[in-house]
Every structure is written in C-alpha cells, then in structure tokens.
Amino acid sequence: MIFRKAKFSDVEDILKIINDYAEKGLMLARSRNVLYEGLREFILAEEDGKIIGVAALHLVWNELAEIRALAVEPNKIKSGIGRRIVDMLTEEARELGVKTLFALTYQPGFFAKLDFKEVPKESVPHKMWKECINCPKFPNCDEIAMVKEL
C-alpha cells in the first residue's frame, strides 16, 4: 500500500469513493469541480493500483485548517488507513504552522481516538463555517465538530 498526493487522473476515483458514502447520508457529496479545485489538498491510499482511502487538508484561515472528505473503502475500514491519512495530514498541517485542526464528522469516535475533542459547533471560529452556506443541510447541520490543538 502506498500513500501519496492526488493527481488529475485520480479525480473520478475520489469522486466515487466520497459520493458512495454521501448517497448513504454518511458524508457530504463533492462535485468534480470542487475536487479539481482542491486536488492539491488530497492524500490518497492506493493498493494494487486502486484508491482505497482519501482525505484532504483544507486551509481555512490564519492557523486554522480542516480535515475533510475522509473516506475509506468499506472493506478496508478498521485497517488503519484512515488513521494513517489523518496522521499525514496532521503532520502537513504542523509544517504549515496550523495551530487548530478541525473536522465536521458523523464519526466522532474515530477522531476522538486521534486526540480530537468534541466541541459545540457554536464555539468554533466563524471562518470554519464559510462553506456551509453551500451545503444542502444548511442551516440544520447534524455533523459533530471535533477540534485538535497542534
């Protein structure tokens, strides 16, 4: 298994793994356009030429970044792939000088194991919500805010 940055040729596979979960209501869908625009943010896990895990580090504001679009193929869950991707993105965040890392998630237990703490959504900086206006669930967000201080 290899972990690497995403390339243009990966967009369709990234779209599929994310939107398969989105169709089940387990994460937010992403468009091709959003993936192309944010391609540099993604780290992928690849096994035998197949993408089996993805996530992105999205810089939001001064020293604030989000782990987003974390998805692992269902038959590979609990194999450490998600943890490894988040660890790699956390290290990248540290190198960039990020002080606060957050995730909006339906899987708080996973992030808690990685030292993220659940916080009330109202307590996080407003910049964190800048893209929420485009979400189909806005303003009735049911994701859980998790924060990790670096």
CA distance 79 to 47: 13
Check residue 140 and give its pLDDT.
58
Check residue 126 and give its pLDDT.
56
Instruction: Give the pairing of strands 42-47 and 50-61.
Output: antiparallel
Indicate the CATH number of 2-149 among 3.40.630.30, 3.40.50.720, 3.30.70.1400, 2.40.50.100: 3.40.630.30
Residue spans per domain, the chain: 2-149
Q: Give tens-digit pLDDT for 22-78.
A: 898 888 889 999 999 999 999 999 999 999 999 999 998 889 999 999 999 999 999
Check residue 63 and give its pLDDT.
92
Q: Where are the extended beta strands (E) located within the chain?
A: 2-5, 42-47, 50-61, 64-72, 100-105, 117-119, 144-149
| Residue 58, φ and ψ in degrees, nearest 5 | -105, 120
